A = this chain, B = another copy of it.
Amino acid sequence: GRKLHVSAAVAEDRRIEQESMLSEKPTTLLREGEDSDDKNGLRARFEQMVFRIQNDVCAAVEAIDGGKFREDAWSRPGGGGGVSRVLQGGTVWEKAGVNVSVVYGSMPPEAYRAATGAASTKPGRIPFFASGVSSVMHPINPMAPTVHFNYRYFETDAPEGVEGAPRAWWFGGGTDLTPSYFFEEDVKHFHQVQKNACDKFDPAFYPKYKKWCDDYFLIKHRGERRGLGGIFFDDLNDRDPNELLAFATACADSVIPAYIPLIEKRKDMAYTQEQKEWQQLRRGRYVEFNLVYDRGTTFGLQTGGRIESILMSLPLTARWEYDHHPEEGTEEAKLLDACKNPKEWLL
């Protein structure tokens, strides 16, 4: 709940400047000086982690697809920026994107209180730093699932003109699977890899973050989730930040082993025109979730993020049929039922 308040309050700040495109990917998006000099600081280590994940995931996708990611890098005058990589019209994926971004902004004191619970003693705005990697990959074959992951690190500075005020930080993120057709072994494999990453840090993590994911990706007006979940967490700051950085890294590193084997198994399966249309209807649901509920998308649209990078998550094509209901007993009904009634896959 906390982050919602922060987003709403930060969203009031529309003073973020427009980005400029860069001719090539910079080695860092951090502000020159304190941030970029402190190579062992959390900001620098997190940024290097998300750049590595971007490289690794894009390499794994290119190896299967044969296509190449296009890269767009941009920066903002006051520091921050991003590197977007997009593969469109591939042989396996119709649209796949992996974004890295670094944002420097400032939030009003109410947002700071909402985020930290700390009473702010002075009325100055609170500078914040946010860095993350986010990715959505939509394959062509309706038997092959879409995946999304996002890992981010957030810090606030002391309010302007205040020394030694509390500094807040937290990690957030998750990885979730959105199939159009239900293969139980795929869902189990995907969840098992997430659970393995979680269990190395705390056996309580997977059950908690699996449920959080089921709750978060609910399309409320449909009473169904966009897909079959995975893990999702936010506001994570109750352990040593180095341990939480290691946890976020382990989660991000689990994307390839969780997802790529499913693509290899499903990418060349035969399918019908009707199955393709069902996939397109599920893509429509994906659009509904992202445009109506997803915090990253709505926050980005409100705060003047780079639109093309934010909306990269939308599928290449989507479909809405009036009052469509799959017939009982069909594969389509089975998928829909799993989206409406989340299960424990690893019992």
Taking Cβ atoms with an 8 Å cutoff, the residues of A that contact B are 70, 72, 86, 88, 95, 97, 220-222, 280, 284, 287-288, 291-292, 298, 301, 304, 307-308, 310-312, 314-323
Of B70, B301, B314, B320, the residue contacting A316 (CB under 8 A) is B320
**Interface CB pairs A-B, < 8 A, 5:** A221-B310, A292-B292, A316-B319, A317-B317, A317-B319
Hey, which chain B residues are within 8 Å of A291, CB to CB? 287-288, 291-292
Of B88, B221, B287, the residue contacting A322 (CB under 8 A) is B88
Complex: how many Å from CA A99 to CA B287? 23
Hey, which chain B residues are within 8 Å of A320, CB to CB? 95, 311, 314-318
In the complex, residue of chain B having the shortest beta-carbon distance to the beta carbon of A325: B308
Complex: how many Å from CA A316 to CA B281? 9
Hey, which chain B residues are within 8 Å of A317, CB to CB? 280, 317-320
Of B284, B288, B308, the residue contacting A323 (CB under 8 A) is B308
In the complex, residue of chain B having the shortest beta-carbon distance to the beta carbon of A220: B301
Complex: how many Å from CA A162 to CA B210? 50
Within the complex, the shortest CB–CB distance from A94 to chain B, in Å, comes to: 10
Hey, which chain B residues are within 8 Å of A323, CB to CB? 72, 86, 308
Q: Are A322 and B318 in contact (CB under 8 A)?
A: no
Max count, chain B CB within 10 A of own CB: residue among A95, A310, A322: A322
Within the complex, the shortest CB–CB distance from A318 to chain B, in Å, comes to: 5
Complex: how many Å from CA A316 to CA B86? 26
Q: Which 3 A-B pairs have the closest CB atoms?
A: A291-B291, A314-B320, A221-B301
Hey, which chain B residues are within 8 Å of A311, CB to CB? 288, 320
Complex: how many Å from CA A72 to CA B322? 11
Q: Are A307 and B222 in contact (CB under 8 A)?
A: yes
Complex: how many Å from CA A86 to CA B320? 13
Of B70, B307, B322, the residue contacting A97 (CB under 8 A) is B322
Hey, which chain B residues are within 8 Å of A304, CB to CB? 221
Hey, which chain B residues are within 8 Å of A95, CB to CB? 320, 322
**With known contacts A284-B314, A315-B320, A307–B221 Cβ distance under 8 A:** yes
In the complex, residue of chain B having the shortest beta-carbon distance to the beta carbon of A310: B221
8 A-B pairs besides A292-B301, A317-B317 with CB distance below 8 A are A72-B323, A95-B320, A221-B307, A221-B310, A284-B314, A291-B291, A292-B298, A317-B320
Q: Are A322 and B308 in contact (CB under 8 A)?
A: yes
Within the complex, the shortest CB–CB distance from A92 to chain B, in Å, comes to: 17
Of B308, B315, B319, B322, the residue contacting A312 (CB under 8 A) is B322
Complex: how many Å from CA A20 to CA B336? 22
In the complex, residue of chain B having the shortest beta-carbon distance to the beta carbon of A222: B307
Max count, chain B CB within 10 A of own CB: residue among A291, A316, A320: A320
Within the complex, the shortest CB–CB distance from A224 to chain B, in Å, comes to: 11
Complex: how many Å from CA A144 to CA B21? 36
Of B88, B280, B307, B322, the residue contacting A321 (CB under 8 A) is B88
Complex: how many Å from CA A280 to CA B283? 15
Complex: how many Å from CA A319 to CA B318? 6
Within the complex, the shortest CB–CB distance from A72 to chain B, in Å, comes to: 7
Complex: how many Å from CA A308 to CA B221? 10
Complex: how many Å from CA A97 to CA B97? 35
Within the complex, the shortest CB–CB distance from A182 to chain B, in Å, comes to: 23
Complex: how many Å from CA A176 to CA B156? 45
